[in-house]
Amino acid sequence: MSGPVVLLALLSCFQIASALTRCDYELDLKTPFLADKENLYCFDDEGVDHVVDEDSVLCSDVGIQSPRTDGMDVRCGAGFTLVGYSFYPCDTQTGVLATSLSSDETLSQYSACVAEADVAANVCSGVDVAAEASKLKLDQDVGKVSNVDLVPENTTDYVSYAMACDDGLDFQFEVSKPVYGYCSGNAEGNAFTLAESDGCYEMCSAAKTNLEGVTLAMEEGSRNGATVSSEVVCPSGFEIAFGAAEEYAFVCNGVKEGSPNEGIYDCGEGCPECLAQCPANPHRNRSPTSRM
């Protein structure tokens, strides 16, 4: 590229960078939430596979990291396991670290280090993968979390997390999201306690209804308990009667902690009826003499 073109490109990049709002690591995150955590290190260059070494900065060392547009990673020193969030993204529109956490009254910016000798008794590991029994996991869209503190029975002071269900399952339709919870057991896989839900249910897909061979003309699935209105698709060789309703109401019925997308759309007493189609031309294959 010519000199003026290169200069213009560099100027555009500078203008874009200047328009981004930097996040204050010290004021927004380290000082209020992480400075009291031992063996916890804060990294201010996003996208790097961080390893704690002699040059790493402890989160308790405040006042030394300048505002920037990168998010912040946290790691633990040797012999310790990280619990809580491992990454806090920077919202370059507002200049706030971890907007999804700071804007939620229930959630909290939390990271800490647990000695490896204490992990089995005090940590739930692999919470980013759905538990086999309950199908529950931590919602990774809210924040990246692999391990969390195990909350003993009758504990009143604990960190809540946004919860999610495994693919193809979800909380019931009447349950508002986010659903909050915490890990309350790790003896036989992770067990979770939820605040306002009884767990995960099969979602319904358009391919499964209580009418044999009949599917719904829609793409998105539904949560258990949801009512949808949809056109229906009859099996090959059948069609809805002329003048019948265009859409019908179906309720999604899913089994708790069942299989992905195995819920059934049920039309109850107001079901459509698929009738055999009449041949397009019943005399097409007859010879002229056979019509006499």
- Average pLDDT per run of 10 along the chain, which is 292 residues long? 48 52 90 95 87 93 87 95 96 89 94 97 98 97 96 92 98 97 95 95 97 95 97 94 93 98 97 87 55 42
Supply 57's token pair: 């900065």
Report how far Cα 159 is from the mean position of its chain's Cα atoms: 19
Confidence at residue 133, expressed as pLDDT on a 0 to 100 scale: 96
Confidence at residue 18, expressed as pLDDT on a 0 to 100 scale: 53
Q: How far is it, in rounded angstroms, from Cα 36 to Cα 165?
A: 33
What Cα–Cα distance (Å) separates residue 71 from each residue in 2, 46, 141?
35, 6, 15
Q: How far is it, in rounded angstroms, from Cα 262 to Cα 169?
A: 9
Confidence at residue 8, expressed as pLDDT on a 0 to 100 scale: 45
Confidence at residue 280, expressed as pLDDT on a 0 to 100 scale: 66
What Cα–Cα distance (Å) separates residue 275 from each residue in 209, 244, 259, 272?
17, 11, 32, 10
Confidence at residue 31, expressed as pLDDT on a 0 to 100 scale: 93
Three-state DSSP state, 116:
helix
- C-beta contacts of 279-288 below 8 A and 24+ residues apart: none
